[in-house]
Structure 1
């Protein structure tokens, strides 16, 4: 059975990533991209769905693990009855290959290590043909199925049924390298790897990237780790930022709210751009803007809310029968039906992000501003249309207040592009539309009786997405209407001290009721507290949230406050970027230098 979600650590080469369990098993790896099919899928089943275990052959062994400073090189130190070893797991960056390296170094005494390798291509639907290869200076195991091939170089393994296993001894001062390399099966084996060189080069690359973030304000370590996660989730070649590494990790254990997050949501990616810009990572923002312009190029009416890593549009949702689900939570889904939804808030997030890019000095070109004007045409023609909202409800379309505010923000940023940067556009028409949207929101999206903004027009319920209203400049955080909304969120949506997205209702979202608090929403409340002068409460909630990070600083999507465990896909970009924004606002509230509001 797979481990608790928080017991996994990420290693990445900025093309894909592996999840390594605290037991030494690689239980999730899709090759060669995040959205490729899995070669190791035990995370969504058991060992027979694919894994690579490397651990001491000693049931009494204990382990601790850390990342090498400011990198995604994972070091696990095992202590056994006979000695100690360190296992360094990493994926080389920038070598043009797809490799996973596991270096074992003897620290003390003598330790017997064991391997269990079970390769299952195609989401555990393709059992490979495996054969031994004799090589000068070592052993190699070649596995092939259809378009995929893997070669493992290291200590020799023996077949046992549909797995390969073996044992080797590591003495103090000795180093043993294991290298797993993926390649298209119709091409030659990529050959051996210089592990020492690649380890040094990869560590240096991550550390050089992290060094650009020089601020040492509050929550420095969680912030820099979160920025590193966002960089790891940014595809090196395309610039697309995936929402998470995984698919179908349940939002509610044993439930059906299991979604595929290995794609690029315009909303999440736009917020990631804000986090990068707020910390001087302008080149990452430039790459994302270029990705965006390519992905949404064409008829603005064809804009989707999500795309593949290279801008692919066809992402149909289907259910797999080859994987039983995380600890039995079915179904396992690949693709996402939300790709066909209309979510009007997305245009607002995109326009905000592109305006921030302008403010950061990224110049508009002959393509970028005309494309934004085309997006404004889409808003002008659809601003009265209901949608399915930020949470991608599978119930009926409604006029969600958050979505209406985000359309207001889209128009506002277009106006500011004209007024502040001299760009061409029908600014008077846009200003009239902005005023119309505000009047409508204040009339239909605010409940005078409760004194709160509402989830959607015609209801008196609230939604955690309303915490974004001050973030996008719609109102001040200490506006009485916003304070009333916050009070209602605290009353209606808090569970175990954390914030749920909304009150689940099958008639509203089309799904069975019940889910866990959403970590990004809880960080949004931290930001709201910091913005509105409630700094002690902001600090208290922030401390509790940061304590939910696992031992290597990673967060999933949600948190089960009853069971005390992470839930949902992980690591989750939205959770980490919300952490960054919350920490920035605490720093600003405390008067730390160099912190600016990048959202308004």
Structure 2
């Protein structure tokens, strides 16, 4: 039978009912699992409410986090009142959700086996192993896929411990050791386990050369051990031995989960349209490769000793990110194009990421619109060139020497930056308003030229040192002369303005200004007064610096970690350590961070966010080193 894609929840024994607020757990009440190709969010109730298959940017199969009625989910929970706790199996990305009930204790072990490039990689197996560890416990499961973001009808057929959900573009097979029952478009299971007993549910993508295959208890045990072994072997390569090892390693494991193994791409986050403010319109799709984010990821991973990941990303750049120098329109310093690089790419390197709204989905807690694709792809953001070339510089220093082909590409980019750094752009925060001459963009253009010059000198590479040096010095003078506001006694967001911006915290981090320079210390104090609240940092005030969107937002977690690092470099170690320890209290129960933190400490925005975790790694590394 075929069922409509928008079918809602159904009333069955023990099932969920209605459309109450509790249908949407807090963003922070989730853990992440994945196989380096796709990922799923599991909430503390045991429900998978976000899963895209077969890759991060594919249409969702489960998306009840964006619409509890139409999105689809995979519920698996104790069928009796129970308290729950969630943790990661130590040093892995295997997620454990525990249920504490009057008559027993049970747990769900959620994981996705990580396999090589064989046909098994196309299976994208998602295993949910249920174990009763004390007493006895009843469980219920409801598997309710809603394909293509809840817009594509599917057929379901079941028999002999298996159910197959099928659409023209995707077929999923559910196998289970517990009894299955078809109920409309969904599959249900009610079962009871006694101490020492277990049950297994496995969801596979099938089709082509991937045939249906059951997952017996013994195979689930073997794949559990293999997955634990994989993550522990990977993490053992870390060189970090500092004070905050647990948080740093959880951040590293999260960054690895956000890596797309076939190309080496690193996505910004595995979700789309989780709102920056409940009920607001600041809802974006982050399942792509931002040159800025990915370059910072390379920096963080190199710091920890994960050179293979850095090398894989360099491979992504070489193969998929093609330089396209736009034609000048004849006026000096202007260009008809946006630059030789886009700010973001698809995980396969594609350049077209058209943005559209999914009006049939209500959004997380009614926060519409839900968007897929990202219209910022065509923006001019000049800071990406500094982030990219700084990453290449660090890769050459700590990883492997860059190739002659890489140097040719760097030369083309830097030549372009020398000609075009003095343009208005949309800035690091991707404003949807009018372009400005952002200080941070100037700063990172300076970084692009300065790091390239340093690399050329270190390696003895050919370069027009006079031309590059002239551009580097011109950018420096422009920032010092026009980026400083005597009225604010601080550096400001853009030329001619008086607005502060947390991206200025990168000035000493990028080695543009001494961390104890009087002008910088005055700016640090001004940022602390205007944008810092209990160690949390707002990126700017949208009420005085319009960004083309309505509403306000929470504090930006990456900026809070930048603040820690800026305090560290300024020698204010007691303040830095306190701010860092406070930031750690805002992590969720698993050590994960969304993009922002709201006024009452709730996590908002896409989750978990790579940018935040890489900033945590950098702050921890530098603070730990300064404390000695």
TM-score range, shorter chain: over 0.9
Residue pair 1:240, 1:291 contacting (<8 A) in 2 also: yes
Residue pair 2:499, 2:545 contacting (<8 A) in 1 also: no
Which of 279, 282, 285 is residue 310 of structure 2 equivalent to? 285
Which of 409, 424, 433 is residue 447 of structure 2 equivalent to? 409
Determine the C-alpha separation between the residues in 2 that align with 1:354 and 1:219.
27
Structure 2 partner of 1:552: 590
1:93 aligns with 2:130: no
TM-score (norm 2): 0.91
Residue pair 2:163, 2:187 contacting (<8 A) in 1 also: no
Which of 158, 163, 168 is residue 141 of structure 1 equivalent to? 163
Residue pair 2:446, 2:475 contacting (<8 A) in 1 also: yes
Residue 366 of structure 2 aligns to a residue whose secondary structure is coil
Q: Report the alpha carbon displacement of residue 355 of structure 1 after superposing the two structures with TM.
A: 0.3
Structure 2 partner of 1:594: none
1:568 aligns with 2:593: no
1:123 aligns with 2:155: no
Between Structure 1 and Structure 2, how many residues are aligned? 584
Which of 130, 139, 145 is residue 113 of structure 1 equivalent to? 139
1:161 aligns with 2:184: yes
1:78 aligns with 2:115: no
Residue pair 2:140, 2:190 contacting (<8 A) in 1 also: yes
Structural mapping, 1:345-384, within 5 Å: 345-384=383-422
1:395 aligns with 2:416: no
Q: Report the alpha carbon displacement of residue 506 of structure 1 after superposing the two structures with TM.
A: 8.1
Cα deviation per residue 1:426-479 (whole Å; 9 max; x = unaligned)?
Answer: 111101110111111111111123221110000111100000011111011111
Structure 2 partner of 1:511: 549
1:29 aligns with 2:54: no
1:467 aligns with 2:505: yes
Determine the C-alpha separation between the residues in 1 that align with 2:323 and 2:619.
36
Determine the C-alpha separation between the residues in 1 that align with 2:487 and 2:134.
70
Structure 1 partner of 2:457: 419
Structural mapping, 1:241-390, within 5 Å: 241-301=266-326, 302-390=340-428
1:67 aligns with 2:88: yes
Structural mapping, 1:557-596, within 5 Å: 557-562=595-600, 564-591=601-628
Residue pair 1:315, 1:335 contacting (<8 A) in 2 also: yes
Residue 274 of structure 1 aligns to a residue whose secondary structure is helix
Cα deviation per residue 1:179-216 (whole Å; 9 max; x = unaligned)?
Answer: 001134x5553423422221111111100111112432
Residue pair 1:151, 1:189 contacting (<8 A) in 2 also: no
Determine the C-alpha separation between the residues in 1 that align with 2:209 and 2:245.
45
Determine the C-alpha separation between the residues in 1 that align with 2:84 and 2:457.
59
Cα deviation per residue 1:36-58 (whole Å; 9 max; x = unaligned)?
Answer: 11000001010542000001110
Cα deviation per residue 1:401-435 (whole Å; 9 max; x = unaligned)?
Answer: 01001001100011112111111111111011101
Residue 166 of structure 2 aligns to a residue whose secondary structure is strand
Determine the C-alpha separation between the residues in 2 that align with 1:487 and 1:298.
40
Residue pair 1:506, 1:513 contacting (<8 A) in 2 also: no
Determine the C-alpha separation between the residues in 1 that align with 2:352 and 2:137.
49
1:218 aligns with 2:239: no
Residue pair 1:506, 1:512 contacting (<8 A) in 2 also: no
Structural RMSD (CA)? 1.4
Structure 1 residues 506 and 325 mapped into 2: Cα distance closer, same or farther (>3 Å)?
farther
Residue pair 2:343, 2:381 contacting (<8 A) in 1 also: yes
Q: Report the alpha carbon displacement of residue 507 of structure 1 after superposing the two structures with TM.
A: 6.5
Residue 146 of structure 1 aligns to a residue whose secondary structure is coil
TM-score (norm 1): 0.95
State the 4+ residue runs in structure 1 displaced beyond 4 angstroms.
Answer: none
